[in-house]
Amino acid sequence: MRTRPDVITTVEVNGRKVRRDEHGYLIAPEEWGPDVAEVIAREEGLALAEDHWAVIDFMRAYFEEHGIAPDARFVFAHLGARHGETSRAGRKRFFELFPYGYVQQACKIAGMRQPRAWSSG
């Protein structure tokens, strides 16, 4: 069972407070919105472009359907297929978009809770 974070911070996004844990992950993924993604991406030093949004939208749709974030391999395959490439090429493209990785950047920006243990691809 996941314990509650020791430190909860908030960030104000368009007049509403969004709660995050000590590492910047959302406490409640339902508080996520595209405006929240933009704020977190700026904190991460990223300007979100079309392929970033393709990844984020895929992750959010998977989360909505399954109640968990997708495994990184599914995201790499989605990104590769989007460009008519292999999953391996999708993985390379992914790390060009999110240089600090799946958990460190993509999950955080897509509004996922901080994972306990995860395959980072």
Q: Could you read off the pLDDT of 64-97 as tens digits, one per residue?
A: 999 999 999 999 999 999 999 999 999 999 999 9
Three-state DSSP at 79 gives helix
- For residue 5, what pLDDT band results from cuts at 50, 70 and 90? low
- For residue 2, what pLDDT band results from cuts at 50, 70 and 90? low
- Cα distances from 7 to residues 47, 58, 87, 95, 114, in angstroms, run 27, 29, 37, 29, 13
Question: In the predicted model, what is the mean pLDDT of the chain?
Answer: 90
pTM of the model: 0.87
Domain chopping of the chain, boundaries: 8-109
Which of the two residues, 115 and 4, has the higher pLDDT score?
Answer: 115
Assigned architecture for domain 8-109? Orthogonal Bundle (1.10)
Residue 60 has pLDDT above 60, yes or no: yes
- Which residues neighbour 96 within 8 Å (Cβ) at sequence distance 6 or greater? none
